[in-house]
Chain A
Amino acid sequence: MNLDSLTHTSGEWLRGSGPESDIVISSRIRLARNLAAFPFTNRASSGQKSEIESMLRERIAKLDMEPKLSYLSVPSLSSLDRQLLVERQLISRELAAADGPRGVALVPQETVSLMVNEEDHLRLQVMRSGFTLDEAWQEIDRVDDLLEQRITYAFSEEFGYLTACPTNVGTGMRASVMLHLPALEHTKQIEKVFRALQKINLAVRGLYGEGSRASGHFYQISNQVTLGKSETGILNEIHGVIPQIITYERQARMSWLRDNRQGLQDKIARAYGTLCSATMMTSEETMDLLSSVRLGINLHLIEDLTIPTVNELFIHTQPAHLQKIVGTSLDGEERNAQRARYLRQRLREAGAHPN
Chain B
Amino acid sequence: MKCQICGSNPATVHLTDIVDSHKKEVHLCQSCAEQQHLVNKQELNLPAILQNLIGQHLGPQTDELARLTCPACGIKYMEFRAQGRLGCPHDYEVFRGGLTPLLQRIHRSDRHHGKTPQRSVLPAQEQAELVELRRRLQHAIDREAYEEAARLRDLLRKRGSHG
A residues near B (Cβ < 8 Å) are 34-40, 42-43, 45, 47-48, 55-56, 59, 119, 141, 144-145, 148-167, 169-171, 173, 210-211, 224-231, 233, 329-334
Q: A152-B162, A165-B50 are in contact. Are A39 and B117 (CB under 8 A)?
A: no
Interface segment among B15-23, B32-40, B60-68, B128-136: the answer is B128-136
Selected contact of B163 from candidates A56, A159, A227, A332, CB within 8 Å:
A56
For the complex, is B103 an interface residue (Cβ under 8 Å from A)? Answer: yes
Known: A156-B124, A227-B106. 16 other contacts (CB 8 A): A36-B127, A37-B127, A42-B85, A43-B88, A145-B118, A149-B119, A159-B103, A159-B111, A161-B115, A164-B86, A165-B85, A166-B54, A171-B114, A225-B108, A229-B109, A332-B10
Contact A36 B130 (CB under 8 A): yes
Query: Is B89's beta carbon under 8 Å from chain A?
Result: yes
Q: Is the CB of A227 within 8 A of B121?
A: no
- List 22 interface pairs A-B (beta carbons < 8 Å), by A numbering: A36-B121, A37-B122, A40-B86, A42-B87, A145-B118, A148-B117, A152-B163, A154-B89, A155-B116, A156-B112, A157-B116, A158-B112, A159-B92, A159-B111, A165-B86, A171-B112, A173-B114, A225-B106, A228-B108, A230-B113, A231-B114, A233-B114
Q: Is the CB of B112 within 8 A of A165?
A: no
Please indicate the chain A residues that have their CB under 8 angstroms from the CB of B116 in the complex.
155, 157
Q: Which of B113-160 contact A (CB under 8 A)?
A: 113-119, 121-122, 124, 127, 130-131, 134-135, 138, 141
When the two chains form their complex, are residues B85 and A47 in contact, meaning their CB atoms are under 8 A apart? no
Q: Which residues of A contact B107 (CB under 8 A)?
A: 170, 225-228
Choose one: B1, B75, B113, B127; the contact of A331 (CB below 8 Å). B1
Task: Give the most central of A45, A155, A157, A332: most B CB within 10 Å.
Answer: A155
| Contact residues of B between 91 and 107, Cβ < 8 Å to A | 92-93, 99, 102-103, 106-107
Measured between alpha carbons, how far is A163 from B84 in the docked complex, in Å?
12
Closest to B119 in A: A148
Q: Give chain A nearest CB distance to B78 CB in angstroms.
A: 15
Interchain CA distance A162-B87 in the complex, whole Å: 11
Q: Given that A43-B88, A48-B138, A332-B11 are contacting pairs, would A167 and B50 also be in contact in the complex, using a CB cutoff of 8 Å?
A: yes
Instruction: Chain A residues near B14: list those with CB within 8 A.
Output: 332
Given contacts A167-B106, A170-B107, contact A160 B112 (CB under 8 A): yes
Which of A40, A158, A331 touches B111 (beta carbons < 8 Å)?
A: A158
Which B residues are in CB contact (< 8 Å) with A141? 115
CA distance in complex: A141, B124 (Å)? 24
Q: A39-B87, A332-B11 are in contact. Are A229 and B113 (CB under 8 A)?
A: yes
B83 lies within 8 A of chain A by Cβ: yes
A319 and B133 CA atoms in complex are apart in Å by 46
A38 to B133, CA, bound (A): 10
**Please, how many angstroms separate the alpha-carbon atoms of A170 and B109 in the complex?**
10
Is there an interface contact between A227 and B109, defined as CB atoms closer than 8 Å?
A: yes
Q: Closest residue to A232 on the B side, CB-wise?
A: B114
- Is the pair A333, B1 in contact by a Cβ cutoff of 8 Å? yes
Q: How far does the Cβ of B137 sit from chain A's closest Cβ, in whole Å?
A: 9
Docked-complex contact B88 and A38, CB < 8 angstroms: yes
Chain B residue at minimum C-beta to C-beta distance from A144: B115
Contact of A37 with B130 in the complex, beta carbons under 8 Å: yes
**Are A227 and B112 in contact (CB-based, < 8 A)?**
yes
Q: Which of B11, B54, B86, B163 contacts A55 (CB 8 A)?
A: B163
CB B149 to nearest CB in A, in angstroms, measures: 11
A47 to B124, CA, bound (A): 24
Query: Contacts A40-B86, A332-B12: A153 and B103 contacting too (C-beta < 8 A)?
Result: no
Indicate the member of A40, A148, A224 with the most B CB atoms within 10 Å: A40
Nearest residue, chain A, Cβ from B161: A55
A149 and B118 CA atoms in complex are apart in Å by: 8
- A148: chain B residues at CB < 8 Å are 117-119
Which of B10, B107, B111 gathers the greatest number of chain A CB atoms within 10 Å?
Answer: B107
